[in-house]
């Protein structure tokens, strides 16, 4: 569905080309830049056309809760980048995950997910969905045997996020897909940290990819958005839920995201290169106990990361020598790095997960997820590495 000239440009193009050219819905004015269709509803030529649009017999826009040309353009662009048949955009990353679970699971179903999931995803699967009879077993991200052992006859979904936040643990997507598909279990991967530029889970056999477009897809910290991409038979179910329940991406946010995605590849490459340089520097720093970054040979799953991702990504986690006091010293000494929980921005951000993003989960869940008091997470942006080092050094030298 969408505008009259939103035909796909073709699968054979490279990602950076698709990111700029795919998903264009030109209006009658033939504008060059993607148009923003700020309208809640669309008019029909006749009663018969209205009926056909509502029944789905005729493609076309109806009402922006479920059809809007700017949102359709975003969906087309992201689907092309992920190598997906179809994509459904949502208001945020969390509403993408909610829509996925509501669309594909029913009371009595069971989910296997990793202990290292994003904090709000853990809350959603671990606390909220349980009230509706959908129960989740949490297992170690890296332990394929544990995923298999957690399966039950009623298991419907594997939900993973790789690399995990903030510890960058790598799940072996292909291995988990083999375990899941042997018993007809759907595999969904939160691909927020890598984006399709660094990792394409569908190529490794996953059924669905979930995004918080809020992060790298926007890339400039402006809007919230999310998406579920994959085979059309599954995304159609997500679409039916979204059409009725309404956790819809706004046209304005879709338009911002379309423009953000045009620079996705060069941002991911530059931010990953800076993250690697910063990780090496931190690893050699006397005040730092440990650095976890998939691009470092010291990462426990460096070899897997190299097979599965085209680079280490922009997120670096490290533990300072000491606990909360020392970690907060580094945070409070920064003048350049932003103290914020967001990530995927051109501006580098610094987070103390134990007291922020992972502050609402129980201490037991925190320690199961490896979130120690000395842990800090950096989401590297586009500033010069030397400036980031100087900023961090101010706090690290106090330890
Ligand atoms: C931020 C984030 C989410 C949630 O996305 P929102 O857009 O904030 O709702 C989900 N997964 C991961 C890995 C995230 O970083």
Nearest-CA residue for atom 2 of ligand 1 = 212
Instruction: Answer yes or no: is pLDDT of 217 > 80.
Output: yes
| Overall size of the chain counted in residues | 399
Residue by residue, DSSP assigns 285-323 as: -TTEEEEE-TTSTTSTTHHHHHHH-SS--SEEEEEESSS
Q: 162, 168, 169: which is closest to 188 by C-alpha? A: 162
Longest Cα pair distance anywhere in the chain, in angstroms? Answer: 74
Task: Return the ligand 1 atom nearest residue 224 CA.
Answer: 7
Domains and CATH numbers, the chain: 5-261 (3.40.640.10), 265-396 (3.90.1150.10)
Q: 196, 393, 379: which is closest to 271 by C-alpha? A: 379
DSSP category for residue 6: -
Q: pLDDT tens digits, residue range 266-287?
A: 999 999 999 999 999 999 999 9
Per-residue model confidence (pLDDT) at position 8: 65
Find out whether the beta carbon of 221 lies less than 6 Å from any atom of ligand 1: no
Q: 395, 385, 379, 285: which is closest to 334 by C-alpha? A: 395
Distance (angstroms) between ligand 1 centre and the Cα of 287 equals 30
* pLDDT, averaged across the chain: 94
Per-residue model confidence (pLDDT) at position 1: 37
Q: CA separation (Å) from 10 to 142, 210, 254, 346?
A: 36, 23, 21, 30
Per-residue model confidence (pLDDT) at position 7: 53
Nearest-CA residue for atom 8 of ligand 1 = 93
Distance (angstroms) between ligand 1 centre and the Cα of 233 equals 24
Task: Return the ligand 1 atom nearest residue 94 CA.
Answer: 9
Give the mean model confidence (pLDDT) for residues 329-334: 97
Whole-number Å distance between alpha carbons of 63 and 244: 12
Q: pLDDT tens digits, residue range 11-38?
A: 689 999 999 999 887 888 999 999 999 9
| Percent of all residues in the chain with a pLDDT value above 70, rounded to a whole number | 97
Helix (H) or strand (E) run with residue 358 in it: none
On whether the CB atoms of residues 69 and 3 are closer than 8 A, the answer is yes
């Amino acid at each position: 569905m969408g505008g009259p000239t939103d035909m796909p440009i073709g699968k054979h193009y490279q990602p950076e080309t698709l990111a700029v050219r795919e998903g264009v819905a030109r209006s009658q004015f033939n504008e060059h830049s993607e148009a923003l269709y700020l309208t809640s509803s669309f008019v029909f030529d006749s009663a018969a056309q209205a009926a056909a649009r509502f029944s789905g017999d005729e493609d076309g826009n109806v009402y922006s809760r479920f059809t809007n040309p700017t949102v359709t353009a975003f969906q087309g662009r992201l689907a092309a980048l992920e190598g997906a048949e179809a994509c459904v955009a949502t208001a945020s990353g969390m509403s993408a995950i909610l829509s996925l679970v509501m669309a594909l699971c029913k009371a009595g179903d069971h989910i296997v997910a990793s202990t290292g999931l994003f904090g709000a995803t853990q809350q959603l699967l671990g606390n909220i969905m349980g009230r509706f009879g959908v129960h989740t077993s949490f297992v170690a991200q890296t332990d394929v045997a544990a995923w298999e052992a957690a399966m039950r006859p009623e298991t419907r979904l594997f939900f993973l996020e790789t690399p995990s936040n903030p510890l960058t643990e790598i799940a072996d997507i292909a291995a988990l897909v083999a375990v899941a598909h042997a018993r007809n279990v759907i595999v969904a991967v939160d691909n927020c940290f890598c984006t399709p530029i660094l990792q394409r889970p569908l190529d490794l056999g996953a059924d669905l990819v979930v995004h918080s477009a809020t992060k790298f897809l926007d890339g400039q910290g402006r809007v919230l958005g999310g998406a579920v991409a994959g085979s059309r038979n599954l995304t159609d179910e997500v679409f039916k839920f979204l059409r009725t329940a309404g956790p819809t991406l706004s046209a304005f946010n879709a338009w911002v995201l379309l423009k953000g995605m045009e620079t996705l590849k060069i941002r991911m490459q530059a931010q990953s290169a800076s993250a690697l340089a910063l990780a090496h520097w931190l690893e050699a720093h006397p005040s730092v106990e440990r650095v976890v970054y998939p691009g470092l040979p010291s990462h426990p799953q460096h070899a897997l990361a190299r097979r599965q991702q085209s680079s280490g990504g922009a997120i670096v986690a490290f533990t300072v020598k000491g606990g909360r006091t020392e970690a907060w010293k580094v945070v409070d000494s920064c003048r350049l790095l932003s103290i914020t929980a967001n990530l995927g921005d051109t501006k580098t951000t610094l987070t103390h997960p134990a007291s922020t993003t992972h502050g609402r989960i129980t201490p037991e869940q925190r320690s199961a997820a490896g979130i120690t008091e000395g842990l800090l997470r950096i989401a590297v942006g586009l500033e010069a590495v030397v400036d980031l080092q100087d900023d961090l050094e101010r706090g690290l030298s106090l330890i």
